[in-house]
Structure 1
Amino acid sequence: MLIYKIFRADEWQALQAAGKTGGAPVDLADGYIHFSTAAQAAETAARHFAGATGLVLLAVDADRCGDALKWEPSRGGALFPHLYRALRLGDVVWTRPLPLENGTHVFPPEMA
């Protein structure tokens, strides 16, 4: 199963350069890396990245995360994937730009 992380361009560049990351500032503050499922990603983008450009969508293989991935209740009681270790570049299956068109982020067709 693929899970998804939205990064700003500089956060993605830092992961590429270092080979791992503790995540975005919100992840570092919370002590885990926030992910979304395909069904949750659009609402995550709308709530936390409204109007933001230059975003990158990362697809991560949940199985590669092992026991460090926990499914925990969040928005509305829905279970969200949270990673309790650094995200490694090797965990990432693919990346795509997440363009903003008419105020809405456009997700790639492979997420459908």
Structure 2
Amino acid sequence: MLIYKIFRTPEWQALQADGSTLGAPIDLSDGYIHFSTAEQAAETAAKHFAGVEGLWLAAVEADTLGDDLKWEPSRGGALFPHLYRPLRLDDVVWAWPLPLEDGAHVFPAEMV
């Protein structure tokens, strides 16, 4: 199962340059890296990245993350994937720009 991380361009570039990341400021403060499922990603983008341009969507295979990935209740009691270790660039299956059109982010067809 693929899970998804939304990055701002500088965060995505840092992951590419460094080979790993502890995530965005919210991830650092919470102590884990926030992910979403395909069903949760659009709402995550709308809630936390409304109107933000220059985003990237990275897909990660959940099964390869082992016990470091925990499914925990969050928004509305839904279970969200949280990674309790650095995300490595080699964990990323693919990444695509997440363009903003008419006020909403357009997700890649691979997710549909």
Same fold (TM over 0.5): yes
- Confirm or deny that 1:99 pairs with 2:103: no
Give the equivalent residue in structure 1 for 2:63. Answer: 63
Runs of 5+ consecutive residues of structure 2 not aligned to the other structure: none
Give the equivalent residue in structure 1 for 2:26. Answer: 26
TM-score, normalised on structure 2? Answer: 0.99
Give the residue type in structure 2 aligned to 1:55. L
Shift of 1:13: 0.4
How far apart, CA to CA, are the structure 2 residues paired with 1:65 and 1:14? 21
Give the equivalent residue in structure 2 for 1:11. Answer: 11
Give the equivalent residue in structure 2 for 1:39. Answer: 39
Shift of 1:64: 1.6
Runs of 5+ consecutive residues of structure 1 not aligned to the other structure: none
How far apart, CA to CA, are the structure 2 residues paired with 1:9 and 1:64? 25
Shift of 1:63: 1.3
Give the residue type in structure 1 aligned to 2:71. W
How far apart, CA to CA, are the structure 1 residues paired with 2:52 and 2:64? 29
Secondary structure of 1:28's aligned partner? helix
Aligned CA RMSD, in angstroms, stands at: 0.4
Secondary structure of 1:12's aligned partner? helix
Shift of 1:94: 0.1
**How many percent of aligned residue pairs carry the same amino acid?**
78
- Confirm or deny that 1:88 pairs with 2:88: yes
How far apart, CA to CA, are the structure 2 residues paired with 1:80 and 1:54? 24
How far apart, CA to CA, are the structure 2 residues paired with 1:81 and 1:40? 10
Residue-pair matches, total: 112
Matches within 5 A, 1:42-53: 42-53=42-53
Secondary structure of 1:110's aligned partner? helix
Shift of 1:93: 0.1
